[in-house]
């Protein structure tokens, strides 16, 4: 009888674990879309597909005045060659897509791109939301102000109207016909132009912009500058021991910043004693300061919190916090550096002093 009860318990546990794993595997992932035109769509798919967090890139025809365009008539119907990028905003951002976009085109050319001439090859950013429009316009202003280009940046930021997927033989052309693709790309002049403009600039995937022009160090440098616990938490998604970390009971006024990048993440004004032994907050210092990412480990669905620009693991957020948000941002001290209120100005965080004015 004891063996039967034990067997039943074991089978029940196995079933629960299997159900939890199945739920985690099939949990929906929220995605967003972005649409860019940069001349020949063959050349625009591959760069976006290399971005972590991008789930699909389609070559197609955008913002035309008719329906069902084909490769034979899309130009006559007012369409441009474009790509539709589907991405997970908890992993990558629209600003990162924009950064990659500028590195694929000649933004000073109003009449086409490289060897491809005509309105169907004109570059353009097609926004789907007001937020995308704002980010695109800011990004355009910044690329113009960089002084990188000798002529004005003329890429229009336009409202998205429609997108039709191109024929299958156009999809991932670079992979299906690598020799012809490389020959075309080189002969078009695109590679030579981009090399000349961006030769001394690290690729977007190799750097992570944060305050002060932060460039994220490589693994070896991080292992030298961080303690073993800081490295395990921020780079490997570890968790420090409760009640045995630096800030769980810190009550001083100030802000908490990413230990690696220095970007401001949380304020002492939103810190509370959760009784868990980790520093806990009801909200980040601003809505855009952290990124959320689904975490399906430990047979349950959680929401991981990462610094948005430094892309370091900070902790998790739960729905059991106090008012007014009802959230508990359970963070690791090892991922944070505390800046006391009295030192914020001299350390370059003076803009956040307004939070403490009554």
Residues annotated as catalytic are: 40, 330
Contacts (Cβ under 8 Å, ≥6 apart) of 148: 197
- Host H or E run for residue 112: strand 112-113
- CA dihedral 121→127→128→133, nearest 10 degrees, is 180
Q: Rounded CA gap, 295 and 314, in Å?
A: 13
Q: Rounded CA gap, 171 and 226, in Å?
A: 44
List own/partner pairs for 9-18 with CB under 8 A and 24 or more apart.
17/299
- Which residue, chain included where needed, has tokens 């991981």? 304
The DSSP letter of residue 53 is: T
Q: Rounded CA gap, 300 and 148, in Å?
A: 48
Q: Rounded CA gap, 133 and 76, in Å?
A: 27
* In the chain, alpha helices (H): 2-26, 42-49, 94-102, 130-145, 173-176, 178-188, 190-198, 219-225, 228-236
- Which residue, chain included where needed, has tokens 């399906």? 296
């Amino acid at each position: 009888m004891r063996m039967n009860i034990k067997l039943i318990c074991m089978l029940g546990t196995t079933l629960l674990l299997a159900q939890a794993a199945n739920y985690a595997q099939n949990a929906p992932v929220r995605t967003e879309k972005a649409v860019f035109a940069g001349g020949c769509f063959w050349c625009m798919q591959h760069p976006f597909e290399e971005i972590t967090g991008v789930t699909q890139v389609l070559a197609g025809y955008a913002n035309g005045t008719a329906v069902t365009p084909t490769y034979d008539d899309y130009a006559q119907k007012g369409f441009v060659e474009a790509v539709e990028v589907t991405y997970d905003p908890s992993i990558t951002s629209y600003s990162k897509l924009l950064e990659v976009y500028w590195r694929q085109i000649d933004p000073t050319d109003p009449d086409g791109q490289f060897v491809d001439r005509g309105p169907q090859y004109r570059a353009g950013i097609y926004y789907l939301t007001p937020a995308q429009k704002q980010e695109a316009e800011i990004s355009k202003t910044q690329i113009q102000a960089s002084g990188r280009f000798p002529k004005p940046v003329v890429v229009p930021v336009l409202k998205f109207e429609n997108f039709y997927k191109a024929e299958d033989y156009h999809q991932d052309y670079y992979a299906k016909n690598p020799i012809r693709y490389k020959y075309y790309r080189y002969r078009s002049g695109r590679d030579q132009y981009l090399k000349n403009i961006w030769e001394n600039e690290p690729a977007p995937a190799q750097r992570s912009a944060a305050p002060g022009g932060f460039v994220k160090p490589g693994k070896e440098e991080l292992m030298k500058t961080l303690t073993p616990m800081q490295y395990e938490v921020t780079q490997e998604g570890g968790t420090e021991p409760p009640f045995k970390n630096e800030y769980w009971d810190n009550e001083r006024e100030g802000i908490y910043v990413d230990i690696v990048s220095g970007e401001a993440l949380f304020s002492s004004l939103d810190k509370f004693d959760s009784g868990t032994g980790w520093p806990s907050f009801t909200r980040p210092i601003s809505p855009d300061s952290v990124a959320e990412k689904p975490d399906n480990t430990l047979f349950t669905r959680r929401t991981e919190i990462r610094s948005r620009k430094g892309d370091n693991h900070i902790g998790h957020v739960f729905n059991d916090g106090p008012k007014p948000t009802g959230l508990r941002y359970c963070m690791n001290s090892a991922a944070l550096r505390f800046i006391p209120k009295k030192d914020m100005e001299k350390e370059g965080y003076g803009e956040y002093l307004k939070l403490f004015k009554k």
